Amino acid sequence: MSERAQTTVLNATEAQIQSRIIEELKAEFDKEFAQTGKQKKMCITTFGCQMNAHDSEKLEGILEQIGYEKTDDENEADFVLYNTCTVRENANLKVYGRLGHLNKLKQNKPSLVIALCGCMMQEDTVIAKIKKSYRFVDIIFGTHNIYKLAELIKTRRESGRMVIDIWKEQKEIVEDLPSDRKYKFKACVNIMYGCNNFCSYCIVPYVRGRERSRKPEDIINEIKRLVEDGVVEITLLGQNVNSYGKNLQDSMSFANLLQEVEKVEGLERIRFMTSHPKDLSDDLIEVFKNSKKICSHIHLPFQSGSTRILNLMNRKYTKDDYLELVRKIKAARPDVTLTTDIIVGFPGETDEDFEHTLDVVKQVKYNSAYTFIYSKRTGTPAALMDDQVSDEIIKVRFNKLHDTIQEIGSNITDKEVGGTYKVLIEEVNEKDNSLVSGRLENNLVVHLKGTKDLIGKIINVKIVEAKGFYFFGELA
């Protein structure tokens, strides 16, 4: 087990069952190692969002405890796991593409174990396709039972057959999974799972299930443990963090949770994502205003600037609501930077609708934005809407949007030159070892001269040059 592998608090029974299986497998692996002298290797590829990335840390933690060593090279792996995403069709196609390559690998190395999990696996059509055309896959599981990975590996070893275990809903939140965190000094913490919003284009509620909040004490305890372990920055994760706590027995708002997190001694920075504009309350803005630890950055997807399209998207706010919300946030923290998600080419989007999207971009002035071409997801209401926009029109709009965002973003970053900011140093620069790279509160990256002993420290950096969406700086 690596030094970074750690165990967080467990739901007693399930956690105990799984850790017993992990021990059994470990004993078998040790025996095999004694015979072959070869340490088994695992390679995990994660597609999609932070939720998946965070799940992968837990999956990696389990595999490490079993005795797998990490490798980035699929070709030398004994266990390959794809944690999949299905938010847009592209994400799906990538997985099928890579499976072709895995098939060849497995022909040369029949002992290779191939496992698929994540959001794509929650779709019946995907499972049917894999069962029919990708028979060489060994283990398939979904988003609700990742904690069972060891048990699934055991079943596969004993049965020799393809093991499929997909749950429609999560039965309980299992609190204790081993986890192999990528960074020693920063970590993500799930505060809730699933989504109840059913935006008409989005498949996430179907593959991640209904909204479930973790208990505040579980969240705070996990954060305390992480801080004891050296973490200074926490990102609270949920599809819609602003509706945190609604389903808890003793209901609690996200604003209240943030106040509790703020009290954790030793924690220096708090981030959260994602915020749905419809649920971002005045209370939250007040907490944000007065906080010493919440970073001055909010990711606030607006998807479209047209109230007509927002209505069709089932987003439950208008263009004016959104702009008013931004005004309040900026009034509370004038230094705030905003980022967003935008969809281009939602069914029925006209030039006029698109102009409203450009207008929001120009008025809000985002530091950066993720722009997506609308992708039809079977099973969502939007997939049945008439008037799908042509590829040519989408391309023109997408490029125009992209250029506008770039221009505004780089104008904003130019203004930061000369300023001094607190930066959390994250790593030695890969391309130039004399540099280290870190993040400002607004999440932008800065490179400066420095050595690895700065990693994990928050230091003052003077910005000397802006390069569009990143900076060069020097110790202040």
Beta bridge partners, 6, equal: 179
**Which of the ranges 162-170, 193-201, 417-425, 455-463 carries the binding residues for ligand SF4, by CB under 6 A?**
193-201
Closest-CA residue to 296 (of 335, 348, 332):
335
As given in the structure block, the two tokens for residue 193 are 């799972």
Find the angle CA(131)-CA(137)-CA(138) to the nearest 5 degrees: 110
Q: Closest CB to ligand SAH among 96 and 372?
A: 372
Helix (H, G, I), strand (E, B) or coil at 236: strand
The option from ligand SAH, ligand F3S, ligand SF4, none interacting with 119 (CB < 5 to 8 A, set by class) reads ligand F3S
Is residue 369 at the binding interface for ligand SF4, with CB under 6 A as the rule?
Answer: no
Helix (H, G, I), strand (E, B) or coil at 45: strand
Q: Closest CB to ligand SF4 among 48 and 67?
A: 48
Radius of gyration of the chain (CA): 23
Is residue 208 at the binding interface for ligand SAH, with CB under 6 A as the rule?
Answer: no
CB 122 within 8 A of CB 206: yes
The option from ligand F3S, ligand SAH, ligand SF4, none interacting with 377 (CB < 5 to 8 A, set by class) reads ligand SAH
When binding is defined by CB under 6 A, the residue of 25, 44, 59, 87 that contacts ligand SAH is 87
Please give the helix or strand (H or E) that residue 465 lies within, else none: strand 458-466
Q: Closest CB to ligand F3S among 52 and 190?
A: 52
CB 329 within 8 A of CB 366: no
Is residue 370 at the binding interface for ligand SF4, with CB under 6 A as the rule?
Answer: no
As given in the structure block, the two tokens for residue 380 are 């969502």
When binding is defined by CB under 6 A, the residue of 54, 186, 271, 276 that contacts ligand SF4 is 276
The option from ligand F3S, ligand SF4, ligand SAH, none interacting with 85 (CB < 5 to 8 A, set by class) reads ligand F3S
Peptide bond into 86 cis (omega under 30): no
Q: Closest CB to ligand SF4 among 19 and 92?
A: 92
Is residue 202 at the binding interface for ligand SAH, with CB under 6 A as the rule?
Answer: yes
Q: Closest CB to ligand SAH among 42 and 204?
A: 204
Q: Closest CB to ligand F3S among 199 and 425?
A: 199
Q: Closest CB to ligand SF4 among 9 and 53?
A: 53
Is residue 343 at the binding interface for ligand SAH, with CB under 6 A as the rule?
Answer: yes
CB 458 within 8 A of CB 423: yes
How many residues touch ligand SF4 (CB under 6 A)?
Answer: 10
CB 446 within 8 A of CB 423: yes
Peptide bond into 339 cis (omega under 30): no
Is residue 368 at the binding interface for ligand SAH, with CB under 6 A as the rule?
Answer: no
**How far apart are the C-alpha atoms of 173 and 145, rounded to whole Å?**
10
**How far apart are the C-alpha atoms of 249 and 181, rounded to whole Å?**
31
Is residue 367 at the binding interface for ligand SF4, with CB under 6 A as the rule?
Answer: no
DSSP state of 176: -
**Which of the ranges 68-76, 163-171, 192-200, 426-434 carries the binding residues for ligand SF4, by CB under 6 A?**
192-200
**Which of the ranges 118-126, 210-218, 321-329, 374-382 carries the binding residues for ligand SAH, by CB under 6 A?**
374-382
